[in-house]
């Protein structure tokens, strides 16, 4: 029994270490991603050329998400792991060779298509741009196109390394990608203008693949196309439901960019900057917690332990609410000073700050719903049901289109942002309804109580932030870098303290639980 306990402890320790490495890589990626956005804002502002680049850079991302991103977690890692465990390393290398060969051939063909049809793609994705800007977009597409190849191969390598429990290099792949623009833009902007950003994407994609190659030690690889391999067929069959959701999601992104291009050449750049801030709490809270609870949910589902399944799901949802509610409120009241501090440099003007902050406010309408949506989606994945979230995704895109078309004329860019929030709202509520039908009642899980307490504590935080912000603006006017830093740091610190104090008074258990976990990991402390 002691041996079993030791084995379980070792396994848990390994999982915790892997999760820590992946989380650190995620933080590094987001920090460098924020630096990337700042560099773009400083060098080019929110110009039409930046909007063209934003459109062009979505192409490799969309293709990666369609062909590799969904497959990575749904098929590649599980099947690679199974083959490695049951058939050994030689069988794993043979399967990886076939997968990588198929992906490489497919991606090479796609790169050729993009190169040949760049003007047509530019019209399709940025038809609202002026002819000169469409021509620039086509040129950027041709520069970026080879990145599709490197991104795709990088994703397949990531799946293999995760299956081999080699986490470090793939975890930092996205961070290394961001270095591409951070290197290329400052060096080449003077000669190539915003085209330097496209070169940065290409460089970043090469770096993302290159950083993982040293970890392929011991691999015996060769080019081999064989669609009849049973494990390859299993990967493709597992991927089909995920592909549907990815196609619909990318379709919505393409439509969003197309509609946004007709609302002004600066709109896409403003929306992209606002999205960067939206994604910070969403990625670090909702995505992280969902990934943390997924293995436990999967285990309880396999056992048929519905009560433990509901309890774990409830805990995940309460944790998300306890953190995403104050993040939403904090960004609502402090968003404009944060945007001014981060982006208002160089060619990024106060006018750009104004419209970016309004875009952020409208995006934040959907942040809480986007937050709770992730654990709900993962609850279905844990039950080996990827089709239901995909179908709900189709419904939410229909909602987006209806709202976007209704609000485009009266509100312009902000109408599209509200439509995105409506998409999150409809998806989350539908998934919540289906979860209650599939899993059973969620009323006893305390979601309403957790949300209410978090909202009350966040209200106290918002009041403190607004008072502190008014004081800073009164005492240190002028808008220099120092005053902008104070306008974020002092109200943010006061608001954070007020939220924690109010959460403690209200006995927001999830915050108290997280606090206990953090204290248990402080150096020099021993907890029995």
How deeply is 112 buried, as exposed, middle or buried, from its count of CB atoms within 10 A (0-12, 13-18, 19+)?
exposed
What pLDDT is recorded for position 408? 92
CA–CA separation, 103 vs 123, rounded Å?
27
Q: Which of 15-19, 369-373, 463-467, 482-486 has the lowest mean pLDDT?
A: 15-19
What pLDDT is recorded for position 116? 95
Q: Which of 66-70, 111-115, 214-218 has the lowest mean pLDDT?
A: 66-70
The SS3 of residue 383 is: coil
What pLDDT is recorded for position 362? 95
Q: What is the mean pLDDT of residues 332-355?
A: 88
Q: Is 307 or 519 the better-scoring residue by pLDDT?
A: 307
Q: Has residue 526 got a pLDDT over 50?
A: no
Q: Is 144 or 222 the better-scoring residue by pLDDT?
A: 144
Q: Has residue 202 got a pLDDT over 60?
A: yes
Q: What is the mean pLDDT of residues 156-170?
A: 79
Q: What is the mean pLDDT of residues 292-305?
A: 71
> Tokens 């005492």 label which residue?
475
Between the ranges 244-248, 292-296, 396-400, where is the mean pLDDT highest? Answer: 396-400
What pLDDT is recorded for position 483? 79
Percentage, residues of the chain above pLDDT 90 = 30
Q: What is the mean pLDDT of residues 6-21?
A: 43
How deeply is 518 buried, as exposed, middle or buried, from its count of CB atoms within 10 A (0-12, 13-18, 19+)?
exposed
Q: Has residue 295 got a pLDDT over 70?
A: no
What pLDDT is recorded for position 421? 95
Phi, psi torsion values for 223, nearest 5 degrees: -75, 125
Q: Is 177 or 290 the better-scoring residue by pLDDT?
A: 177
Find how far residue 149's CA is from the centre of its chain: 21
From residue 217, how far is each of 162, 226, 336, 405 by CA, in Å? Answer: 14, 24, 48, 52
CA–CA separation, 276 vs 272, rounded Å?
6
Q: In the chain, count of helices (H) and strands (E)?
A: 22, 0
Which residues have C-beta within 8 Å of that of residue 527, sequence separation ≥ 6?
520
Which residues have C-beta within 8 Å of that of residue 135, sequence separation ≥ 6?
119, 122
Polymer length of the chain: 528
From residue 67, how far is each of 72, 121, 436 by CA, in Å? Answer: 9, 19, 32
User: What's the mean pLDDT when you consider all of the chain?
Assistant: 82
Q: Which of 7-16, 247-256, 278-287 has the lowest mean pLDDT?
A: 7-16
What pLDDT is recorded for position 416? 93
The SS3 of residue 268 is: helix
Q: What is the mean pLDDT of residues 261-273?
A: 86
Q: What is the mean pLDDT of residues 470-474?
A: 84
Q: Has residue 519 got a pLDDT over 70?
A: no
pTM for this prediction: 0.69
What pLDDT is recorded for position 479? 67
Percentage, residues of the chain above pLDDT 70 = 87
Phi, psi torsion values for 36, nearest 5 degrees: -60, -45
């Amino acid at each position: 029994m002691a041996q079993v306990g030791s084995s379980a402890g070792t396994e848990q320790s390994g999982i915790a270490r892997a999760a820590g490495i992946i989380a650190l890589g995620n933080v590094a990626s987001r920090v460098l991603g924020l630096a990337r956005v700042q560099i773009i804002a400083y060098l080019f502002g929110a110009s039409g050329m930046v909007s063209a680049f934003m459109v062009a850079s979505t192409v490799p991302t969309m293709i990666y998400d369609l062909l590799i991103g969904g497959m990575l977690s749904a098929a590649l890692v599980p099947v690679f792991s199974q083959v490695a465990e049951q058939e050994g390393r030689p069988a794993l290398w043979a399967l990886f060779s076939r997968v990588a060969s198929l992906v490489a051939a497919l991606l090479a063909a796609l790169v050729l298509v993009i190169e040949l049809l760049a003007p047509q793609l530019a019209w399709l994705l940025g038809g609202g741009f002026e002819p000169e800007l469409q021509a620039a977009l086509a040129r950027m597409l041709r520069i970026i196109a080879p990145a599709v190849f490197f991104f795709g191969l990088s994703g397949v390598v990531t799946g293999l390394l995760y299956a081999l429990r080699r986490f470090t290099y793939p975890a930092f792949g996205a961070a290394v990608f961001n270095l591409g623009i951070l290197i290329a833009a400052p060096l080449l902007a003077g000669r190539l203008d915003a085209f330097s950003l496209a070169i940065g994407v290409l460089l970043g994609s090469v770096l993302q693949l290159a950083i993982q190659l040293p970890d392929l030690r011991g691999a015996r690889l060769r080019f081999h196309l064989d669609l009849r391999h049973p494990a390859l067929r299993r990967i493709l069959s597992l991927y089909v439901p995920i592909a549907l959701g990815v196609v619909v999601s990318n379709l919505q992104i393409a439509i969003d960019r197309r509609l946004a291009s007709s609302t002004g050449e600066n709109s896409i750049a403003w929306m992209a900057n606002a999205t960067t801030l939206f994604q910070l709490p969403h990625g670090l809270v909702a995505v992280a917690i969902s990934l943390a609870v997924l293995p436990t949910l999967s285990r309880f589902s396999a056992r048929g332990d519905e009560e433990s399944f509901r309890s774990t799901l409830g805990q995940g949802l309460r944790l998300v609410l306890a953190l995403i509610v104050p993040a939403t409120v904090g960004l609502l009241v402090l968003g404009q000073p944060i945007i001014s501090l981060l982006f208002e440099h160089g060619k990024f003007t106060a006018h750009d700050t104004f419209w970016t902050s309004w875009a952020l406010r409208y995006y934040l309408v959907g942040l809480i719903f986007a937050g709770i949506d992730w654990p709900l989606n993962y609850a279905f994945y844990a039950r080996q049901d990827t089709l239901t979230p995909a179908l709900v995704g189709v419904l939410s895109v229909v909602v987006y289109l209806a709202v976007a078309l209704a609000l485009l004329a009266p509100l312009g860019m902000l109408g599209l942002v509200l439509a995105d929030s409506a998409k999150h709202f409809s998806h989350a509520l539908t998934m919540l309804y289906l979860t209650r039908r599939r899993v059973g009642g969620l009323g006893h899980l305390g979601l309403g109580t957790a949300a209410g307490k978090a909202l009350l504590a966040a209200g106290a935080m918002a009041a403190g932030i607004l008072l502190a912000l008014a004081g800073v603006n009164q005492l240190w006017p002028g808008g220099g870098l120092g005053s902008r830093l104070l306008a974020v740091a002092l109200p943010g610190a006061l608001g954070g303290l007020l939220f924690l104090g109010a959460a403690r008074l209200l006995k927001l258990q999830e915050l108290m639980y997280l606090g206990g976990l953090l204290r248990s990991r402080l150096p020099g402390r021993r907890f029995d």
